[in-house]
Amino acid sequence: MSETNVAASGASVEPSQPRPTAEPAARRGPGADAAPLIHARKLTKRFGEFTAVDGVDFDVQPGEAFGFLGPNGAGKTSTMRMIGCTSPISDGELSVLDMNPRRDGPRIRARLGVVPQHDTLDNELTVRENLLIYGRYFGLPREECARRADELLDFVQLSDRGKDLVEPLSGGMKRRLTIARSLINEPDLMLLDEPTTGLDPQARHLLWDRLYRLKQRGVTLVLTTHYMDEAEQLCDRLVVMDKAKIVAEGSPRQLIERYSTKEVAEFRFAPGIQETLDGQFDGLAERIERLPDRVLLYADDGEDVVASARSRGLHPETVLVRRSTLEDVFLRLTGRSLIE
Amino acid sequence: MTALRLTPMFAFGSRRALRMIERNLLVYKHGWLVLFSGFFEPLFYLLSIGFGLGRLVGDVTGPGGEPIPYALFVAPALLAASAMNGAITESTFNFFFKLNYDKTFASILTTPMSPADISLGELAWALIRGGLYTVGFLAVMVLFGMVRSPLILLTLPGALLIGFAFAAVGMAATSFMRTWQDFDLIQLVVLPMFLFSGTFFPLDSFPEGARIIIQLTPLYQGVDLLRTLAVGVVGPDTLVHVAYLTTMGLIGLAVVSRRLDKLLLK
């Protein structure tokens, strides 16, 4: 497993990809033609003795949807807060929108849209007032705030709730309102910290749809998630974080190709049986993971594995052949499931 | 630019602080009755102690040496004490809670607003509210026929100055607070000040040594400032009080502006 743990954090970004240049001030070396929206080298966050983010390197390009994938406590939120200029960096280098968060916090924040992990809506105000006052924090004129508020309520399908207080809204509605709020300043860069955690499937799909539309409009999205499907749906490129470090980097497809196989056969046995099967899976697949409740066999042809297993006299209670996902990548890289 | 942006030393917050006042106005639009809560505290004290107890006490020596009714003696002091209490509550406990735990304020920090903008805005709002209470209290004094001099109108800016001085120092003190227990210390300072700063009985009823200590306390400065204005007997002392409270406020702001971001942006 050791060869897979090579940190991809140092991997350079493909220079071939054409990207729109928002900022002409490209002060980096000749290798990078356009300035990335976010540039981090050896970025570190410490809280006393505890290191939450341990020297990570990454770049986010304009127009990209970039994800931080990892379990709770991996350092995703701390990284997001540093990018959002609400948490000073402890060490390393970070530039956001070609500015320095240490000096230019307010100027950077003026161009960000932030969706925090937990809803931070103003419960003392109505839905529409939440948007109005938020626009004012950005210094927008009142009429402009009003115009954008109505437009955004429409965008997140909350127009009929404008006059209601925030509290009675459902979780999905609050999330949508938070996204609308983060768009009031027409941000160049959106930071979404676990945008759909805790939502039901319908609410999640509606939210993904809205985020996808934003991406189509050219808004750069940076999100954290511990949902594989979310990362696969939304991210062009992502980094896998574990224990404060980046352990892999690439597009969802690339990561699956690099760290997993095309297909996975999942075998589930009656309780107590799996423990008696030592050695019986050897040679059946490229790689075998034995989890407490099931055995995962990684191969390019899952059905093939099932057939060979049956011919060896293995009789699992249920069999599932599926495509590899980022979950498998994560398991491979860290030896643990993503959501315990 | 706010008036407080005099020199880089006192650079604290920006014009964005005004947005906090806007937010508060929006909030109070939904329940403006809450605004009146702070009006009643000094009024009840005035009725019970000023008039109730005053009946037993009779006249006391006023700032000019002349005897004045006890109610008139105590009224400006209550105004000063309530300006202090309002400012202290707002700038210590509430301020610490808002910036560290209140999610609303966390969300405001993700906009260009800085902790200094938020604190300054909330401070300004607290002063505006305090100003409204003062106006209400003065109206009551007029109603009870307690007006001796047009200078009483100056108790309004006077009360605002007291509020500003205590709020700035309160915020500065809060920036050193580590736990909620530390806030008990503030009460340990505020309560004796409230009771013994010449609020309820004249300075000359204290022994010599205590008198000097009392005269050095900021609340005494505020009480005597408002009392001289309300009775209409001003002198060099009045200017000393103003200078004392202004200096106190500016020092408080200078300390806060250096410590705030570091403490609140973790």
pLDDT tens-digit series, residues A40-66:
999 999 999 999 999 999 999 999 999
The single-letter code of the amino acid at A18 is P
Residue A258's alpha-carbon distances to A66, A231, A249, A305, in angstroms, are 18, 17, 10, 20
| Chain B CB contacts of A47 below 8 Å | 266
Q: Is the pLDDT of residue A27 over 60?
A: no
Between B16, B107, B114, which is nearest A120 by CB? B107
Domain ranges of chain B: 16-264
Per-residue model confidence (pLDDT) at position B30: 81
Q: What does residue A293 show for φ and ψ, rounded to 5 degrees?
A: -105, -10
Q: Which residue has the higher pLDDT, B11 or B95?
A: B95
B103 at A interface, C-beta within 8 A: yes
Note whether B6 contacts A: Cβ–Cβ < 8 A.
no
How many other C-beta atoms are found inside a 10 Å radius of the C-beta of residue A114?
25
Contact (CB<8Å) B26/A84: no
- Cβ distance A87 to B266 less than 8 Å, yes or no, reads yes
Best residue of B16, B20, B29, B107 to probe chain A, by most A CBs closer than 10 Å: B107
**Residue A46 located in a structural domain:** yes
A143 burial (CB, 10 Å; 0-12 / 13-18 / 19+) is: exposed
Q: Are residues A193 and A273 in the same domain?
A: no
**Same domain for A278 and A230:** no
Contact A106 B112 (CB under 8 A): yes
Higher pLDDT pick, A109 / A279: A109
CA Rg, chain B, in Å?
19
CB contact under 8 A, A137 and B112: yes
Per-residue confidence band for A34, with pLDDT thresholds at 50, 70 and 90: low
Rounded to whole angstroms, the Cα distance separating B64 from B228 reads 8
pLDDT of amino acid B183: 86
Q: Residue B157: pLDDT above 90?
A: yes
> CA distances (Å), A96 to each of A83, A112, A153, B195, in order?
7, 10, 29, 54
The domain boundary, picked from A222, A250, A278, lies at A250
pLDDT band at A197 (very low <50, low <70, confident <90, very high): confident
Which position has the higher pLDDT, B105 or B37?
B105
Q: Does B16 touch chain A (CB under 8 A)?
A: yes
Which pLDDT belongs to residue A297?
93
B7 in contact with A, Cβ within 8 Å: no
**Model ipTM?**
0.78
Is B3 at the interface with chain A, CB within 8 A?
A: no
Look at residues B162, B155, B160 and name the one whose alpha carbon lies nearest to residue B139. B155
Question: What average pLDDT does the segment B242-263 reach?
Answer: 87
Average pLDDT value for residue range B12-22: 86
CA distance B94 to chain A (A): 16
- Split into its structural domains, chain A has a count of 2
Q: Least CB-CB distance to A129: which of B19, B26, B107? A: B26
Q: How far is residue A59's CA from residue A12's CA, in Å, rounded to a whole number?
A: 9
Of B27, B103, B108, Cβ closest to residue A137: B108
The verdict on A25 and A152 lying in the same domain is yes
Claim to verify: residue A19 and residue A127 sit in the same structural domain: yes
How close A151 gets to chain B, by Cα (Å)? 20
Same domain, A246 and A267: no
Residue A30, pLDDT above cutoff 80: no
How distant is the alpha carbon of residue A241 from its chain centre? 10
Same domain, A60 and A138: yes
Is A188 a member of any domain?
yes
Task: Tell me, rounded to whole angstroms, the distance of Cα A285 from its chain centroid.
Answer: 30
The per-residue DSSP string of A181-237 comes to HHTTT--SEEEEESTTTT--HHHHHHHHHHHHHHHHTT-EEEEEES-HHHHHHH-SE
Residue A9 burial by Cβ neighbours in a 10 Å radius (0-12, 13-18, 19+):
buried
Q: Does the beta carbon of B139 lie under 8 angstroms from any beta carbon of chain A?
A: no
Q: Do residue A25 and residue A154 come from a single domain?
A: yes
C-alpha distances in Å from residue B115, one per residue of B13, B67, B108: 8, 49, 9
Residue A331 has pLDDT above 90, yes or no: no
Contact B186, B88 (CB under 8 A): yes
Mapping DSSP to helix (H, G, I), strand (E, B) and coil, where does residue B150 land?
A: helix
> Is the predicted pLDDT of residue A165 greater than 90, yes or no?
yes
The whole-chain average pLDDT of chain A stands at 86
Per mean pLDDT, which range of A47-56, B41-50, B90-99, B223-232 is the poorest? B90-99
Strand order, beta sheet including A237-242: A112-115, A189-193, A220-225, A65-69, A237-242, A245-250
Mean pLDDT of chain B, nearest integer: 86
The secondary element (H helix, E strand) that includes residue B125 is helix B115-143
Same-domain status, A230 and A285: no
Residues of A in contact with B100 (CB under 8 A): none
How high is the pLDDT of residue A49?
Answer: 92
The pairing of strands B59-61 and B67-69 is: antiparallel
The number of C-beta contacts closer than 8 angstroms across A and B is: 67
> Per mean pLDDT, which of A129-143, A313-327, B41-55 is the most reliable?
A129-143
Query: Cβ contacts (< 8 Å) between A124 and chain B: which residues?
Result: 27, 30, 104
Closest chain A CA to residue B106: A120
In a domain, A65, yes or no: yes
Which residues of chain B have a CB within 8 Å of the CB of A109?
A: 110-112
A190: left (phi over 0), alpha (psi -120 to 50) or beta: beta
Q: Which of A149-158, A266-275, B94-103, B177-186 has the lowest mean pLDDT?
A: B94-103
Tell me which residues of chain A have a C-beta less than 8 Å from any C-beta of chain B. 47, 84, 86-88, 105-107, 109-110, 112, 114, 116, 118-125, 129, 132-134, 136-139, 181, 185
A122 vs B contacts (CB less than 8 Å) = 23, 104, 107
Cβ atoms of B114 and B9 within 8 Å: the answer is no
* pLDDT higher than threshold 90 for residue A272: no
Please give the residue that has the higher pLDDT: either A181 or A226: A181
> In chain A, which residues have their Cβ closer than 8 Å to the Cβ of B32?
none
Q: What is the reported pLDDT for B262?
A: 72
Q: Are A32 and A14 in contact (CB under 8 A)?
A: no
**CATH code for the domain of A238:** 3.40.50.300
Instruction: Identify the CATH number of the domain in which residue A318 sits.
Output: 3.30.70
Chain B residue with the nearest C-alpha to that of A123: B104
What's the pLDDT at A258? Answer: 92
pLDDT at B238 over 60: yes
| Å between A138 CA and nearest CA of chain B | 6
How close B98 comes to chain A (CA, Å)? 12
pLDDT for A18 = 40
Burial (CB < 10 A; 0-12, 13-18, 19+), residue A283, is exposed
Query: Is the domain of A305 the same as that of A275?
Result: yes
pLDDT score for A290: 86
Rounded to whole angstroms, the Cα distance separating B263 from B258 reads 10
Using alpha carbons, list the distances in angstroms from residue B244 to B220, B241, B247.
11, 5, 5
Q: Tell me the pLDDT band of B91, cut-offs 50, 70 and 90.
A: confident
**Chain B interface, best mutation among A115, A117, A122, A145, by max B CB count within 10 A:** A122
A interface test, pick of B15, B18, B111, B120 with most A CB neighbours within 10 Å: B111
The mean per-residue pLDDT over the stretch A100-115 comes to 94
Q: How far is B41 from chain A (nearest CA, A)?
A: 25
| Model pLDDT for residues B42-59, shown as the tens digit of each residue | 888 888 988 888 888 888
Q: Is B22 on the interface with A (CB under 8 A)?
A: yes
The nearest alpha carbon in chain A to B111 belongs to: A109
Q: At which of A194, A223, A250 does a domain end?
A: A250
Nearest-by-Cβ selection for A88 from B22, B106, B265: B265
* Cβ–Cβ below 8 Å for A139 and B16: yes
Distance, in Å, from the CA atom of B150 to the CA atom of A336, rounded to the nearest integer, reads 78
A283, part of any domain: yes
Give the mean pLDDT of A87-105.
94
DSSP secondary structure, A243-285, as one string: TTEEEEEE-HHHHHHHHS-SEEEEEE--TTTGGG-TTTTTTSS
Residues with Cβ within 8 Å of residue B101, at least 6 apart in sequence: none
Residues 6+ apart with CB under 8 A from A273: none
Domain membership of residue A295 as a residue range: 261-323
B152 Cβ under 8 Å from any chain A Cβ: no
Same domain, A11 and A154: yes
Q: Is there a single domain that holds both residue A48 and residue A193? A: yes
Predicted confidence at residue B175, as pLDDT, reads 83
pLDDT at A222: 97
The whole-number pLDDT of residue B11 equals 58
Chain B, nearest residue to A132 by Cα = B23
Q: Same structural domain for residues A179 and A48?
A: yes
The answer to whether the CB atoms of A120 and B265 lie below 8 A apart is no
How do residues A204-258 score in pLDDT, each as one tens digit? Answer: 898 899 899 999 998 999 999 888 888 888 999 999 999 999 999 999 989 999 9
Q: How confident is the model at residue B99 (pLDDT cuts 50, 70, 90)?
A: confident
For chain A, say whether B23 makes contact (Cβ under 8 Å): yes
Contacting residues of B for A132, CB less than 8 Å apart:
26
